[in-house]
Amino acid sequence: RIAGRLADKYRGLELTKSALDPGERGAKLAELYLERGFKLLDEEYADIPNIERAIRELQNQ
């Protein structure tokens, strides 16, 4: 419910889906989505490409 209220740029639905995925992979993805969201909020844009890369790597496993 809360994730649905976030702007799309925060990827709340992906965060929720990852958090509900049992196992270490889901937990790590959720952590990365949270980190990404906070970086966006704090306007620390230079850090986002590395987080995006880590998300893609986990998704491709």
Segment 20-58, tens digit of pLDDT: 999 999 999 999 999 999 999 999 999 999 999 999 999
Supply the mean pLDDT for the chain: 89
Total structural domains within the chain: 1
- Residue 2 pLDDT: 64
d(CA 19, CA 42): 22
Sign, Cα dihedral of 31, 36, 42, 44: positive
- Residue 56 pLDDT: 96
Full residue range of the structural domain in which residue 8 is found = 2-59
